[in-house]
Structure 1
Amino acid sequence: MAKKDDKYSMPMSGAGLVRYFDDESVGPKIAPEYVIALTVILGIFCFILRYSI
């Protein structure tokens, strides 16, 4: 009979590595598409400011 709080363990070769998929962040959740779009828009804006003067 398994314990209720058992978790999957990493293989021995992964010892010492951080398991990021276990952590829950409390920050805002933003879709990757929005981050890419915002980066492209910011890049274009900086390009326009650089070469418009």
Structure 2
Amino acid sequence: MAVQVTLSPEYDEALRKQVFATIKDAVTDARQKTGIDSPWLNSKRAAAKWLGIS
């Protein structure tokens, strides 16, 4: 038997905003920890590609 929860429109919107904010914060934190947005080249392969050499 499945349980169904019905929220009023204002609670539904508040929950959506909270979930979105939580996911956005987690993605931002992960990007910072991995350095994915770093302007620096992160490998020899990336440097070679940028220089146009093999």
Higher helix share: 2
TM-score bracket relative to the smaller structure: 0.3 to 0.5
- If asked which structure has higher relative contact order (CA below 8 Å, sep 6+), I would say 2
Scaled by the length of structure 1, what TM-score is found? 0.44
